[in-house]
Structures are given as structure tokens and as C-alpha cells.
Amino acid sequence: MQTHIKVRGYHMDVYQHVNNARYLEFLEEARWEGLEKTTGFQWMTEHNIAFHRGEHQYQLSPPGGAWRPASH
């Protein structure tokens, strides 16, 4: 599943970076979009986010166009 989310001005903090809590909102948006596109259920049982670089206004999230599941 791929979801594109455009980073808007209201997603950013005073330093012009996306606030860490906003990433969870992006994941929630992707989950709802996925539920609308499928007939099955999707469950999030855990989330771990490793921040490699900041997002800036008007970038599409995620870089490269796909959220990748964390390897366990």
C-alpha cells in the first residue's frame, strides 16, 4: 500500500520541521486510506519510528513514496 501525504504549513513547528507527533497522524491517515481501499482488516499493534531526517513544507511524505515496515 502506498499513500502520499503533502506536508502543509500547519504540520510544521516554529523551526520549519514536521513535529514528531505529526508522523503518527500521517500513519493514521494512511491506515484509513488503506481501509477504504480494501475489504479486510488492518491492525496496528505496535509502532516504532526511526527519524533519519526532517520533512519540510510541500514535500510528499514519505520520501520515495512508500512507508516501509520496520524489520524485526
**Could you tell me how far CA 21 lies from the centroid of its own chain?**
10
Out of 6, 13, 28, 35, which one is annotated catalytic?
A: 13
Question: Does the active-site annotation cover 13?
Answer: yes
Residues annotated as catalytic are 13
